[in-house]
Amino acid sequence: MPDCDYCGEAFDDEQSLLEHLDADHGSELGAIDRRRVDAAVGDDDDGLSTGPIVLGVILGVSILIGGYVVFAGGFGGSGGPDSGTSVNGIDVAQTPGQVSDPAHGHGTIEMTVDGQRVDFGAAEYQRPREFDAFHFEGGDGRVWHKHADGVTLEYAMATLGIDVSENSVTIDGETYRDNDADTTVSVTVNGETVAPASYELQGASAADAADGDTVRIVVTTDG
């Protein structure tokens, strides 16, 4: 039974879920959910579904973007993860593959700086329309969403404007380095230290988000 990522309500089938999203969460939908809803629900006012129109527009835009990307030499066309680029002014080693429903997954995250929790539920971090592959939704700053394969922890945090490496964190213009005196930086997934530039997040269903990767980033200073 599919669950609504926005309110947690369960539905018997995908069509019922999409109709619910259209009716109750239209203004909250991220880009991928908006496309899913438009394609499945459409506009019944004149008996003509907008699904084919939306798909045609998406196809046209995709062709244009694909042409630009190939011309610029920035990404490949396999649908898998691509070599790095800059996200929010942060250099990342790898960007995700193509956004797709099968890659949709969830996990949890907690980040603290000197004991103060970073609130990913704040508006500045709730940007599902801008970043399809990784984001938070519905004001929930604990559960993360991914919609593509190859979403590295480095990329995920860069979408939030946070630069994370194995031994450093830059947030709000301040850089904390593990090798600085009186500073400790810990970046773990499921309790294990990882390399953010290469570690790819693994997700679970919305109802079982706790079964997806648990990310914990802790910065402490004695200053």
Q: Is residue 119 part of a domain?
A: yes
Give the CA-trace dihedral at 25, 28, 34, 37, to 10 degrees: -10
Do 64 and 91 belong to one domain? no
Tell me, yes or no, whether 118 and 63 share the same domain: no
Whether residues 61 and 120 fall in one domain = no
Residue 92 pairs with which residues in a beta bridge?
Answer: 85
**How far is 184 from 178, CA to CA, in rounded Å?**
5
**Same domain assignment for residues 65 and 92:** no
Amino acid 27: pLDDT: 80
Whether the CB-CB separation of 201 and 107 falls below 8 Å is answered with yes
The answer to whether residues 66 and 115 belong to one domain is: no
Give residue 56's pLDDT: 52
Residues 133, 147 contacting (CB under 8 angstroms): yes
**Which residue, 46, 72, 98, sits at the end of a domain?**
72
Q: Is the pTM of this model over 0.95?
A: no
pLDDT of residue 172: 93
Structural domains in the chain (count)? 2
Same domain, 51 and 117: no
Q: What is the 3-state secondary structure (H, E, C) of the chain?
A: CCECCCCCCECCCHHHHHHHHHHHCCCCCCHHHHHHHHHHHCCCCCCCCCHHHHHHHHHHHHHHHHHHHHHHCCCCCCCCCEEEEEECCEEEEEECCCECHHHCEEEEEEEEECCEECCCCCHHHCCCCCCCCEECCCCCCCEEEECECCCEHHHHHHCCCCEECCCEEEECCEEEECCCCCEEEEEEECCEECCCCCCECCCECHHHHHHCCEEEEEEEECC
Answer whether residue 7 is part of any domain: no
Is residue 36 domain-shared with residue 63, that is, in the same domain?
yes
pLDDT in tens, the chain (223 residues): 567 777 778 778 778 878 888 888 888 776 667 767 787 776 544 444 444 554 454 555 455 544 433 333 333 334 556 667 899 999 999 999 999 888 999 999 999 999 999 999 999 999 888 899 999 999 999 999 999 999 999 999 999 999 999 999 999 999 999 999 999 999 999 999 999 999 999 999 888 999 999 999 999 998 6
- The residue range of the domain holding 54 is 14-72
Same domain, 124 and 94: yes
Residues 95 and 150 in one domain: yes
The residue out of 23, 47, 72 marking a domain boundary is 72
